Amino acid sequence: MFVAIVIGLAVGVAAFAPLIFGMNKARMASPTSNLGHAGSLLLGVLLSFIVLGVAMALCALWFRSVAIPFVLAEACGLVISAVVFGISKNLRR
């Protein structure tokens, strides 16, 4: 179960990367770009959900006995990454 929690935390942190990508892409968007600000942010959210969903499905299919700890660790990893990112952004200002 410990391995599932560690892998879940890692997947949660990795699922935060598309959100950062979408935010950076939204900052670079011009007012006349096709993707726009909201489009790139929503694309980042979609990619993040895909990463989380695929990992959850694979864990549920192959290792059903540790699916709940894995999913909870995944969610905690995503939230912890967002909190650390937000705090670090505020401290840099």
Q: What is the pLDDT of residue 25?
A: 83
- Looking at the chain, the whole-number percentage of residues with pLDDT higher than 90 is 59
78/59 Cα distance (integer angstroms):
17
The domain in which residue 69 lies consists of 2-92
pLDDT (average), residues 56-70: 92
The residue with tokens 């179960």 is 1
Q: With left for phi above 0 and alpha for psi between -120 and 50, is residue 36 left, alpha or beta? A: left
As a whole number, mean pLDDT of residues 2-27 equals 90
Question: How many domains, in total, are found in the chain?
Answer: 1
Decide if pLDDT at 87 tops 80.
yes
Whole-angstrom distance, CA of residue 41 vs CA of residue 35: 10
pLDDT at 75 over 90: yes
